[in-house]
Amino acid sequence: MKYIIIIALFASLPFAVKAQQILPDSLKIAFQEAVDDSVKFKASRAIYTFYEETNRDSALHYAQLRYAIARKYNRTIEEAHTQGQIAYQQIYLGRFSEALTNLTEAIQIVVKSKNTTTWELTLFNTPGKSREIALSMLNHMYGHLKLQTGSSESLYYFKEGRRIGLEIGNDFRVTVADMVLATNYLLLNQPDSALIYAKEGEAYGIRGNIPKYLANIWYAMGAIYLKKGMNSLALSYFKKSLGYALPEGNLTVVASVYENLFSFYQLKNNVDSALYYAVKNIPVVKSLGATNTFSAVEINLGKAYQNLATAYSLQNNTDSTNKYLQLAITVKDSLTATKLKRLADFQRLTLDEQLRLQNEEKERTAFENKRRMYVLFAGIVVALIIMLLIYRNNRQKQKAYNLLQKQKAETDLQKEKADHALQELKATQSQLVQSEKMASLGELTAGIAHEIQNPLNFVNNFSEVSTELIKEMVDEADKGNTAEVKVIATDLEQNLEKILHHGKRADAIVKGMLQHSRSSSGVKELTDINALTDEYLRLAYHGLRAKDKSFNATMKTDFDESIGNINIVPQDIGRVILNLITNAFYAVNEKSKQTTPGYDPTVIITTASVQPPSGGQSIAIKVADNGGGIPQKVLDKIFQPFFTTKPTGQGTGLGLSLSYDIVKAHGGEIKVNTNENEGTEFIIQLPAKEN
Per-residue pLDDT tens over the stretch 128-145? 888 889 999 899 999 988
Look up residue 627 and give its DSSP letter. Answer: S
Contact at 8 Å (CB) between 256 and 297?
A: yes
Closest Cα to residue 256, out of 221, 204, 211, 208? 221
Contact at 8 Å (CB) between 607 and 559?
A: yes
Q: Residues 6 or more apart from 278 whose CB is under 8 A from it?
A: 258, 262, 304, 307, 308, 310, 311
Closest Cα to residue 329, out of 310, 305, 313, 298? 305
SS3 content of the chain, % helix, strand, coil (to 5): 70, 5, 20
Greater model confidence, 365 or 180: 180
Q: Is 620 helix (H, G, I), strand (E, B) or coil?
A: strand
Contact at 8 Å (CB) between 99 and 118?
A: no
Closest Cα to residue 516, out of 435, 440, 447, 570? 570
Residue 668 has pLDDT above 80, yes or no: yes
At 57, phi and psi to the nearest 5? -65, -45
Contact at 8 Å (CB) between 668 and 685?
A: yes
Tell me the average pLDDT of the chain: 80
CA dihedral 149, 155, 158, 161 (to 10 degrees): -130
How high is the pLDDT of residue 295?
59
How high is the pLDDT of residue 291?
57
What's the per-residue H, E or C state across 638-668? CCCCCCCCCCCCCCCCCHHHHHHHHHHHCCC
Domains belonging to the chain, first-starting first, are 351-501 (no CATH), 525-687 (3.30.565.10)
At 672, phi and psi to the nearest 5? -135, 140
How high is the pLDDT of residue 348?
56
How high is the pLDDT of residue 164?
93
Q: How far apart are alpha carbons 129 and 135 in whole angstroms?
A: 10
The 10s digit of each residue's pLDDT in 39-64 is: 888 888 888 888 887 788 888 999 99
Residue 97 has pLDDT above 50, yes or no: yes
Q: Is 549 helix (H, G, I), strand (E, B) or coil?
A: coil
Number of H helices, E strands in the chain: 20, 7
Across the range 102-107, mean pLDDT stands at 91
Residue 346 has pLDDT above 60, yes or no: no
Q: Residues 6 or more apart from 168 whose CB is under 8 A from it?
A: 126, 129, 132, 133, 136
Across the range 95-124, mean pLDDT stands at 84
Contact at 8 Å (CB) between 53 and 252?
A: yes
Enter the pTM of the model.
0.47
Residue 407 has pLDDT above 50, yes or no: yes
Residue 3 has pLDDT above 60, yes or no: no
How high is the pLDDT of residue 429?
58
Q: How far apart are alpha carbons 115 and 130 in whole angstroms?
A: 8
Residue 599 has pLDDT above 60, yes or no: yes
Contact at 8 Å (CB) between 412 and 474?
A: no
How high is the pLDDT of residue 289?
67
How high is the pLDDT of residue 166?
92
Contact at 8 Å (CB) between 260 and 220?
A: no
The three-point CA angle 524-528-533 to 5° equals 100
Q: How far apart are alpha carbons 426 and 339 in whole angstroms?
A: 102
Q: Is 163 helix (H, G, I), strand (E, B) or coil?
A: helix
Q: How far apart are alpha carbons 533 and 390 in whole angstroms?
A: 73
Question: What is the percentage of the chain residues whose pLDDT exceeds 90?
Answer: 17
Q: How far apart are alpha carbons 620 and 577 in whole angstroms?
A: 12
The 10s digit of each residue's pLDDT in 553-595 is: 899 999 999 888 899 988 889 889 988 998 998 888 888 888 6
Residue 333 has pLDDT above 80, yes or no: no
pLDDT band at 311 (very low <50, low <70, confident <90, very high): confident
